[in-house]
């Protein structure tokens, strides 16, 4: 099964590029930028990755990204991830980034975008990946600040495939960002949002109603509202589920308790993703493998999940058809 899951052309739709920063690169960039890390070694960094909840992870996540200073750093971060993803059979990557977290440290938007866009272009040329860029707003910061970021991103509007909403969910309902998302809609930029990870099912409803999102990141807590599940099913709103993340952030206690099988039985459009692979124990393939171990799903189930991601990703129709044909090929030639 491992070989089959590796060969399946997969799409990563829920990835925080800052969460792909492996401790080795963190040390290399700290050295390059003359930054002192509060850890003596790579092993000590890894040992610190024990989380009680989303906030305890976010504290380390924001600290870790402090080594990203120049466009070159952002380039190296993304290229490092693209190489790993390619090795796992990932063919399309949608990377979200958190501009505010870098602006707060004095790193300008142009530096962030220049490095990331250059890496995306090189990954397309050299690694045969397709990519998309998602600009995420920090929901625990003021909505006015998010609006300023969106306006100041005007040179990049054409290159942004979607805006998103992430960071500390509890107490920061989607409705807080209604005006920002309305502006994005006016600009013709698609919208997605984290909802129903730690926050209640009502936040998923609010993301649909107030933010008019076309996709929900996580969304696992939708199961607490049967009527909402029916809405998600009927409207075929995709959920980008990140099972290893949910275990590591104690959204669920154990992989075997994960609601994925229930979500599948409910007829929802699900995809498997990694969220923050450097912090949560692996990339997209590891998430597929963890599901294989926990649920013993058939190959057909994994093919459906991989197909869902190709169907709903932000990519050209010709790229979509190419990847779907590749997927059909892998399935047809598998013995």
Q: Which of 12, 88, 94, 197 is catalytic?
A: 197
273 interacts with ligand HPA by CB under 6 A: no
* Tokens found for residue 208: 């649909």
Name which of ligand HPA, Zn ion, none residue 239 binds, using a CB cut-off of 5 to 8 Å depending on partner kind. none
Is 194 annotated as ligand-binding? yes
Dist CA 6 CA 87 (whole Å): 8
Closest CA to 170 of 144, 139, 135: 139
Which of 94, 166, 206, 286 lies at the binding interface for ligand HPA (CB under 6 A)? 166
Is 16 annotated as ligand-binding? yes
Closest residue to ligand HPA, based on beta-carbon distance: 166
Q: Work out how close the CB of 326 gets to Zn ion at its nearest, in angstroms, rounded to a whole number.
A: 27
276 interacts with ligand HPA by CB under 6 A: yes
DSSP 90: E
Residues 6+ apart with CB under 8 A from 288: 5, 8, 10, 272, 302, 305
Name which of ligand HPA, Zn ion, none residue 73 binds, using a CB cut-off of 5 to 8 Å depending on partner kind. none
Q: Work out how close the CB of 17 gets to Zn ion at its nearest, in angstroms, rounded to a whole number.
A: 11
Residues 6+ apart with CB under 8 A from 205: 225, 228, 231
Dist CA 36 CA 31 (whole Å): 8
Name which of ligand HPA, Zn ion, none residue 287 binds, using a CB cut-off of 5 to 8 Å depending on partner kind. none
Residues 6+ apart with CB under 8 A from 330: 4, 7, 8, 9
Which of 9, 19, 190, 199 lies at the binding interface for ligand HPA (CB under 6 A)? 19
Which lies closer to ligand HPA via its Cβ, residue 80 or residue 197? 197
Q: Work out how close the CB of 54 gets to ligand HPA at its nearest, in angstroms, rounded to a whole number.
A: 6
**Residue 166 is inside which H or E element, if any?**
strand 162-166
Which lies closer to ligand HPA via its Cβ, residue 90 or residue 165? 165
Catalytic-residue membership of 197: yes
Closest CA to 277 of 101, 90, 1, 150: 90
Name which of ligand HPA, Zn ion, none residue 54 binds, using a CB cut-off of 5 to 8 Å depending on partner kind. ligand HPA
Residue 172 φ then ψ, to 5°: -125, 75
Name which of ligand HPA, Zn ion, none residue 286 binds, using a CB cut-off of 5 to 8 Å depending on partner kind. none
Name which of Zn ion, ligand HPA, none residue 273 binds, using a CB cut-off of 5 to 8 Å depending on partner kind. none
Dist CA 157 CA 113 (whole Å): 11
Which of 130, 172, 245, 287 lies at the binding interface for ligand HPA (CB under 6 A)? 245
- DSSP labels, 66-89: GG--SHHHHHHHHHHHHHHHHHTT
The CB density around residue 158, as the number of other CB atoms within 10 Å, is 9
Is 275 annotated as ligand-binding? yes
Q: Return the CA Rg of the chain.
A: 19
**Chain centroid to CA 159:** 18
Q: Work out how close the CB of 101 gets to ligand HPA at its nearest, in angstroms, rounded to a whole number.
A: 9
12 interacts with ligand HPA by CB under 6 A: no
Which lies closer to ligand HPA via its Cβ, residue 54 or residue 113? 54
What are the residue numbers of the active site? 197
Annotated binding site for Zn(2+): 14, 16, 194, 275
Annotated binding site: 14, 16, 194, 275-276
Q: Footprint of ligand HPA on this chain (CB under 6 A)?
A: 16, 19, 54, 61, 166-167, 194, 197, 245, 275-276
Annotated binding site for substrate: 276
């Amino acid at each position: 099964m491992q070989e089959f899951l590796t060969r399946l052309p997969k799409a990563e739709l829920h990835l925080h590029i800052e969460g792909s920063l492996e401790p080795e690169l963190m040390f290399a960039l700290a050295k390059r930028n003359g930054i002192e890390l509060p850890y003596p070694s790579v092993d000590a960094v890894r040992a610190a990755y024990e989380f009680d909840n989303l906030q305890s992870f976010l504290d380390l996540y924001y600290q870790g990204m402090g080594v990203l200073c120049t466009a070159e750093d952002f380039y190296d971060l993304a290229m490092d991830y693209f190489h790993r993803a390619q090795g796992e059979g990932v063919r399309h990557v949608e990377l979200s980034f958190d501009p505010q977290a870098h602006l707060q440290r004095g790193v300008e938007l142009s530096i962030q975008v220049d490095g990331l866009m250059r890496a995306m272009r090189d990954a397309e040329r050299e690694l045969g990946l397709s990519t998309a860029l998602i600009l995420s707003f920090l929901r625990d910061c003021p909505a006015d600040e998010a609006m300023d970021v969106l306006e100041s991103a005007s040179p990049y509007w054409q290159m942004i495939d979607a805006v998103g909403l992430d960071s500390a969910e509890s107490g920061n309902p989607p409705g807080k960002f209604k005006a920002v998302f309305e502006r994005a809609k006016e600009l013709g930029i698609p919208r997605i949002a984290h909802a129903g990870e730690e926050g209640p099912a009502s936040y998923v409803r609010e993301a649909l109603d107030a933010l008019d999102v076309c996709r929900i990141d996580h969304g696992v807590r939708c199961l607490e509202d049967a009527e909402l599940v029916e809405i998600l099913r009927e409207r075929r709103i995709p959920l980008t589920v990140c099972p290893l993340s949910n275990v590591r952030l104690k959204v669920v206690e154990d992989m075997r308790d994960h609601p994925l099988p229930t979500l599948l039985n409910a007829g929802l459009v699900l995809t498997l993703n990694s969220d923050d692979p450097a912090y949560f124990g692996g990339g997209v393939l590891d998430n597929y493998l963890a599901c294989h171990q926990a649920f013993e799903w058939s190959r057909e189930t994994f093919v459906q999940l991989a197909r869902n991601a190709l169907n709903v990703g932000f990519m050209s129709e010709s790229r979509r058809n190419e990847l779907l044909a590749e997927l059909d090929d892998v399935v047809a030639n598998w013995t």
